[in-house]
Each structure stands twice: as structure tokens, then as C-alpha cells.
Amino acid sequence: MAKLDLTKYGITGTTEIVHNPSYEMLFEEETKADLTGYEKGQVSELGAVNVMTGVYTGRSPKDKYLVVDENSKNTVWWTSDEYKNDNHPMTEATWATVKDIAKKELCNKRLFVVDAFCGANKDTRMAIRFIVEVAWQAHFVTNMFIKPSAEELENFEPDFVVYNASKAKVENYKELGLNSETCVAFNITSREQVIINTWYGGEMKKGMFSMMNYYLPLKGIASMHCSANTDLNGENTAIFFGLSGTGKTTLSTDPKRLLIGDDEHGWDDNGVFNFEGGCYAKVINLDKESEPDIYNAIKRNALLENVTLDAEGHIDFADKSVTENTRVSYPIDHIKNIVRPISSAPAAKNVIFLSADAFGVLPPVSILTPEQTQYYFLSGFTAKLAGTERGITEPTPTFSACFGQAFLELHPTKYAEELVKKMQKSGAKAYLVNTGWNGTGKRISIKDTRGIIDAILSGAINEAPTKKIPHFDFEVPTSLPGVDPAILDVGSPGT
């Protein structure tokens, strides 16, 4: 591999470049005794290192910006008084200023550089270079993105560069018209991201997802905030849409099926493919019995975030004193049942919308018509669950377009258009599954939801007796194999 020169990125005086470090080296670097503050990792009893991310334990949507230029001004779905979203405009001059702040922070330092791919499809994947000064941040992106082969690294040319300057601050933010000293900014034309004053690892992951959500639909490829799995023959693909905490990771990580990925996928003419090389699972109240695959993935090379450990490294998964948004990132091969060697599968046959209904009004499962599919995809009714964004401490009912509004860079109708095209071509059916609260005020259990999902994937739901419920005009099954009929008894919701 040719020696890396960072001066072409405006980063000078680098004392050492740790380029594509191994897991062994990352472990040594992030657990060094002389590290302080948020750089320091602690080894847990399960072998995974735990790190803390400070004030920012979730994404900071109010600090997300995109540069307005000739390419973006008429394509990006900008926030407006009429319809608020997270795509705040930034001038090219302000971009130059914040990028300069990031570059200055990264100059004259020992840096970690990780080269990786986003997207399992070689024709449309994005080659990304992450430049960071913190070892565990390099570990995070090594876990979360697709690792190039030795041959691919030889000739690696990034088409997107991420500058993570989490230690810097935008001190003159008021003068620049920004929200705070924190800034997560994107330039679609120069293909760069700048991160300032937030240590939260998810800003790098979701940043690249946002960019795939911009570039791919413009090429006629559906870009989706969903998990995906397939049967053991690799033929019966299912995708699960839902916001953070609604069950995407839990329900797609199924010992009876092969995982394609847990959060971000594309759907092109060849089928469904993962954007990532790892998983980023919530671990609040993680239980070994109900989620064995995720629990067993927490071992050496996994990276815990904001989890409570005692001095001996014992984990308290129930402790939410730091945040409800406790996480673990791990390489996808920590899960036994995955699609190999490439995280892709044929076109989906079942499309499942996961909604954590905070009101207990939605039935546990509804069979959707094509018209209802479009409506519920575009409206994306769910509840924001505690911790995934700053300031969310209780389940809050919300409408999140395409079950991922925070990451949509184009207008929601573009994503709906591409999804509908793919579903029509494959003959896929859609279902709305409530993973939230039922009419009795209790959250529907993972066990019951898994039973419902099993009935969808086996096709049993299509043979089940159904009734139509008022107000929603939903077709709902009245009995399903292996599911307590009392769970399915929705009475008369909305009355």
C-alpha cells in the first residue's frame, strides 16, 4: 500500500498515520493506561471494550447541515416552515469555515485513517476514507462498514472523505448562523462530511447512510432504513422498516434465518443488499434469553457505547443513568447466521413496517393493501423512543416519513416511488406490525411479535381468518399459529 499523504486534504504536520489498523492494534490503542476522558475505553467482562461519548449520546439533528450549491439546491429536501426536517442549509462560505476548524484540529497529530466501503453492491458502493484522532472511533467504523480486501486496499481511492474532529468546537457558531458549537455538515458536491464537537459514533454511520439516501435513488435504486433477512436457502427475503428501537435489529436477528443486515439497505434490479459490514444494536435491558444472538455478539472486537460498568468490568444492561440509547457495534460476522460472503439476497417477498405505537391503538398486525402500503410508508407513524436523539426521554408519537425521515436527503415521494416499483416487480406483500403498546397498556412482548413475524414469513398469515376493523379499514388476522389469540383480539380500536 502506498504511503498515505494527508496534505492533499489540507491536514499537515501529521506525526504518524495509523492506516487501517487491525483489531488487535485498536484494542491496545483504546485501552492504553495513559488515555483520559472520552478517548479511554474500559474492557468489559464479555471482552468488548466500552466507551463513553459525553454529552452527545445520540445524534444531534439540530446541528446537521448540507451545503447549498448548484447540485443540491433543487434536489435536497430542505427544511421549511411548512415541513420541518433535519436538512438545514449551509452556505459554501460557512462550509469552508467549519471544514477549516476540523482540519486545524487534525493537523500536527497522530491520526487514524480507515478505508472502507458503504454498500455491498460493487457497482454502486461508496469508497470512504475516515480521518479520526481517536482510536475507538477508528474501531467503530471498522466494525460498521465493509472491509476492503487486501487487493482493494492496494488501489483504494476514496470517493467520500469524513473528517471527525470531535475534540474541536465551532466557537463562532452564532456569527456563522449555526445552532451550537456542534456541527455535522455534508458537502454533496465535494463528497465530504465534517463532524465537530460530538463524540457519538452514530454520526459517522448515519452520515454515510444519509449520503447513500441522496445518491442511490437518483440512480433508480431504493434506499431504505430497514433491516433484512432471508431463509436458510437464501430465497425468501424480508425487509423490516422502522425507527430506532422499534425492533429492526432484534426481529431480523433470528436463529431460523440468515441476516442480511440490521439497519440500512438498497434494493436494485438484482435484489436487496446491505450498506454495512456491521450491526449497531441497542442494548438497554438486553436479555440473553430473549436476544441470544445479540448478547453473544458482545465479545472481543465489539464496541459498547455508554453502558454502565463497575471497576471490574461487570455490565449492568438495565442501567440507563447515562442514556437509554446504550449501544453495541460489532462486525456482522459476530452473528452466526448471516448471508455469506456478500450481504445480499434476491428481491424481497415480504415488506414489514414496524411501528412502536405509544397509544396502543394499532392492531398487533395488519395486512396492507397497495394503497395502504404507500400511505403508511409515507406517513411512517411510530413513536420516537427514549435516547436515540437528544431530548427524547419518553416515547413520543411521531410521523417519520419512510420510517427514516432524519436520513432522507430527497423528498419522501422519491423513496416511495422506488420502493413501490421494486415491490410491484417482485410481487411483495406488505404488513404493519405494532411492536409498541397494546390496548391494555402493556408493551407487546418480543415473543409474541416473533410469532407474528413467523406467520408472515411462512405465509400462514395469508391462510388465516381475518376481520376488517373500523376507522383504519385494516384487514387483521383473528388467529395465527403459535400466537396467543388474546394478543390478536383488537376489539374496536379508536372507539
Q: Which of these is catalytic: 99, 125, 129, 225?
A: 225
Q: Which of these is catalytic: 205, 327, 349, 414?
A: 327
For residue 118, which phi and psi values (nearest 5 degrees)? -120, 110
Active site residue 421: no
Q: Which of these is catalytic: 63, 115, 263, 268?
A: 263
CA angle 146, 134, 55 (to 5 degrees): 105
Tell me the one-letter amino acid at 409.
Answer: E
Cα gap 350→366, rounded to integer Å: 13
Active site residue 262: no
| Pairing state between β 42-43 and 126-132 | unpaired
Q: Which of these is catalytic: 59, 88, 103, 384?
A: 59
Active site residue 327: yes
Residue 23: CB atoms within 10 A of its CB come to 13
Q: Which of these is catalytic: 244, 366, 388, 400?
A: 244
CA distances to 70, 79, 83, 190 from 74, in Å = 8, 13, 16, 17
Q: Are 196 and 98 in contact (CB under 8 A)?
A: yes
Active site residue 308: no
Q: Which of these is catalytic: 248, 282, 349, 390?
A: 248
Active site residue 59: yes
Cell of 410: 430527497
Q: Which of these is catalytic: 129, 205, 206, 429?
A: 206
CA angle 72, 118, 103 (to 5 degrees): 65
Q: Are 110 and 89 in contact (CB under 8 A)?
A: no
Q: Are 443 and 436 in contact (CB under 8 A)?
A: yes
Cell of 150: 487486501
Place of cell 376507522: 471
Q: Which of these is catalytic: 142, 249, 355, 435?
A: 249
Active site residue 206: yes
Q: What are the catalytic residues?
A: 59, 206, 225, 244, 248-249, 263, 327
